Amino acid sequence: MFPKNAWYVACMPDEIDAAPLSRKICNETIVLYRNGEQQAVALEDFCPHRGAPLSLGKVVDGKLVCGYHGLEMGCDGKTVSMPGQRVRGFPPIRAYPVIERHGFVWIWPGTGAPTALPALAWADNPEWAYGGGLFHIQCDYRLMVDNLMDLTHETYVHASSIGQKEIDEAPVTTRVNGDEVITSRYMENVNAPPFWRMALRGNGLPDDQRVDRWQVCHFTPPSNVLIEVGVALAGNGGQDAPAQLKASSIVVDFITPETETSIHYFWGMARNFRPDDQALTASIREGQGRIFSEDLEMLERQQRNLLAHPERKLLMLNIDAGGVQSRRVIDRLLLAERAAAEGAAADAAAAEGVTA
C-alpha cells in the first residue's frame, strides 16, 4: 500500500517540545518525544507491561514514563526501570530511526537501512523563507499525489485564489527521470489571479500588468511533491526572469500516510524574495492555507465515493499522466520491498532448517 523503506515527515518540531505525541504512520502507532539531549525519539506506542499507550505518559528528565504504572522506557526501546520491579526480562519495543532536519522531524518506518534524507535547497538557507502547516485528511495518500501532479483542478476548486481558465488551455508535459516524475505547464501573457497579485505586491511589483506564469511539479518517493510556481512580468523570460521582475516560490507538499484512507499532509511555501518579511510570510501562509483547505472536502468526498464503488474503473486522461507515472514509481518500490521481504523470509527459513 505504501513504501516503508523511506523517510516520511512525522511531525513538526514544536509538536513534541512539551509532551509525548502519538501519531499513526503507515499503519504503525508511534510515540514521539525528546530525550535528555532534546533529540527527537520515536518508539512503538505500546508499553511492554500491559500494552498501554506510552503517549499517555510523560517525559521526566528526558525519559519517557508510562502513565499507567510508571514504567520507564529507554530511547532504544528497552525498559530502563519500573517501581518495585525487576525489568531485565521485559521484551523491548521497536525504536525507529529519526532525524530532525529542514524544519521537520523525519521517521523511517521500514526495516531496510535508512538512506540519505532528500536534499532541500531552500531549507536552512537564510535567503529563503518558509511558512506552512499540517492538515489531517481522510483520503488515500495517492489521491493527494494525483491532485498535486495535475493542477488542472485549480480552475475549478480554487477559482477565487489561484485558478484561471488559461490553466485548462495550456499544454501539459510529463517526463520521468528515474524515480522522479515532472509535469510542467507554462502560461504566457495572462492576468495574475488574486493570490499571485498579492505575491507581486509583496515583492514590490505592480499587480495590474500581464504576466507569464509557470507550474512545474516534481514527485519523488515515497510521496513528496515540490512545485515550482510563480509569475513574472510578461515578456521578461518567465521562470528565468530576473528576481526583481517576478514572484516565485516552491510549494512544499510532504504526504505521510496514516492508514490506507487517511494522511498527515504537511504543506507550505518556500520563497526567495523578501525572506525577512515576516508579515509577508504570514500573509502567504494564510492564503495558502485557505487554498489547501479547499482541496480537503473534494479529496475526502472522492475517497468516500471510491470506497462505495470499488468496482468502478477511473478514467486516465492526458492531464493525469503525472499522477499515473507517480503511481508506477510507487508500485515499483512496493514490489521491490515485497521481493526483499520474501527473500529475507526464505533465507531465515533456510537457516532455521540448517540449524535444526
Ranges of each domain in the chain: 8-107, 129-331
Q: Report the distance separating Cα 118 and Cα 126, nearest Å.
A: 19
Q: Which superfamily does CATH assign the domain made up of 8-107 to?
A: Rieske [2Fe-2S] iron-sulphur domain (2.102.10.10)
227-241 residue pLDDT tens: 999 999 999 999 999
pLDDT band at 137 (very low <50, low <70, confident <90, very high): very high
pTM as predicted? 0.94
Mean pLDDT of the chain, nearest integer: 93
What average pLDDT score do residues 325-347 get?
89
Q: What is the pLDDT of residue 208?
A: 95
Q: What is the pLDDT of residue 354?
A: 67
Residue spans of beta strands (DSSP E) within the chain: 8-11, 21-25, 28-34, 40-44, 58-60, 63-65, 72-73, 79-81, 95-96, 98-101, 104-107, 129-137, 172-177, 180-190, 211-220, 224-233, 246-259, 262-271
10-22 residue pLDDT tens: 999 999 998 999 9
pLDDT band at 242 (very low <50, low <70, confident <90, very high): very high
Under DSSP, is residue 23 helix (H, G, I), strand (E, B) or coil?
strand
- The answer for residues whose C-beta is within 8 angstroms of residue 166's C-beta and 6 or more apart is 187, 190, 213
pLDDT band at 95 (very low <50, low <70, confident <90, very high): very high
The alpha carbon of 235 is separated from its chain's Cα centroid by a whole number of angstroms, namely 35
Topology (CATH level 3) of domain 129-331: Naphthalene 1,2-dioxygenase Alpha Subunit; Chain A, domain 1 (3.90.380)
* Percent of the chain whose predicted confidence (pLDDT) is above 70: 99
